[in-house]
Amino acid sequence: MTSYSRRRGYPTPDSDREPGNGGLDSETLARAIALDLDGVDAAWPLEQQKPTKILGLSSNQTGLIANDDNNIITFTALEAEAPTTTPGLITGVTQSLVTAPGGEGWYHVTASLAVQPSGGITNNALSRMILRLRDFSLPTSVVVERYDADAQNDGLSTAAIYLNTEAVVYMTEARQLSLYLFHQNVASTMNALVIGTYLSATKLTGVI
């Protein structure tokens, strides 16, 4: 392992023996090192350094929601991505999935969705958000896990419906998360306004 102090560029005993460094004060140096190390301590909440990716919405989206479970949510904002070695979301380009930002391992994933019906709803309409984890290394891109969230609309108002879910899942390079919206007990289509949505993945561990 490379010497930490050497990598930090501190003087070494050899260089200190060179003439002309008489102004180097050991207490000053000790304090400088202490400041650096205290900085390491300050950064200790390591979860802040975990590979993370969060997709969001830059503006409301409106459209007809079909009465099936294939209404995929498209994201238009990259809220956070670390590390940035994987292709990110480019301005003006939508994205509908999250890949493992830190490679294979266990991840904490969350999804939320706020949708406002604007027409076509019927009594006891059920809105369902579906978080699907697909594995594209398998022949038919099998959904290996899914996490749903349900909310009921009374059919009388067009108040927003809020849905969210979270889970701990195992992701690989070939596994991708995507989010869908499904309306049941409604007319063939429903006008809806997606007013907020997030999809995130934070790495917990590598391969165990």
Partner 1 sequence: MTDKTATQNLTRAQASDDHKQLPVYLEILRDEVDARMTAHFYDLSRSQVPPLCRLSLGTPYSTSSDGNVRMAYDTVDVDTDDMADLSRDNRSIRLNSPGYYSIGAYVVVSPGSGPPTSAFTVGLAGAQNAGRQANDVGLVQLSISVGSFLQVTAPGVTFQTRRSAFGSTYAAWTFVAARMYAYKVRDL
Token couple for 202: 């934070």
Report the DSSP beta bridge partners of residue 111.
Answer: 165, 199
The correct pick among 76, 96, 184, 191 for binding partner 1 (CB under 8 A) is: 184
CB of 114 to partner 1, least distance (A): 16
Q: Name the residue type at position 203.
A: K
Residue pair 98/81 in contact (Cβ under 8 Å)? The answer is: no
Residue pair 181/107 in contact (Cβ under 8 Å)? The answer is: no
Token couple for 76: 């238009």
The correct pick among 33, 82, 144, 174 for binding partner 1 (CB under 8 A) is: 33
CB of 199 to partner 1, least distance (A): 14
The correct pick among 9, 19, 20, 40 for binding partner 1 (CB under 8 A) is: 40
**172 sits near partner 1 (criterion: CB under 8 A):** no
Token couple for 169: 């899942």
The correct pick among 9, 59, 90, 168 for binding partner 1 (CB under 8 A) is: 168
Number of residues engaging partner 1 in binding (CB under 8 A): 50
Q: How far apart are CA 122 and CA 114, in angstroms?
A: 19
Number of H helices, E strands in the chain: 3, 11
CB of 31 to partner 1, least distance (A): 9
Q: Which residue has the tokens 């301005």?
A: 91
Stretch that binds partner 1, among 56-64, 76-84, 167-175, 192-200 (CB under 8 A): 167-175
**3-state secondary structure (DSSP) of residue 7:** helix
- Chain contacts with partner 1 (rule: CB under 8 A): 1, 3-6, 10-13, 16-17, 22, 24, 26-27, 29-30, 33-34, 37-38, 40-41, 44-47, 106, 108, 124, 126, 128, 147-152, 164-168, 170, 184-185, 204-206, 208
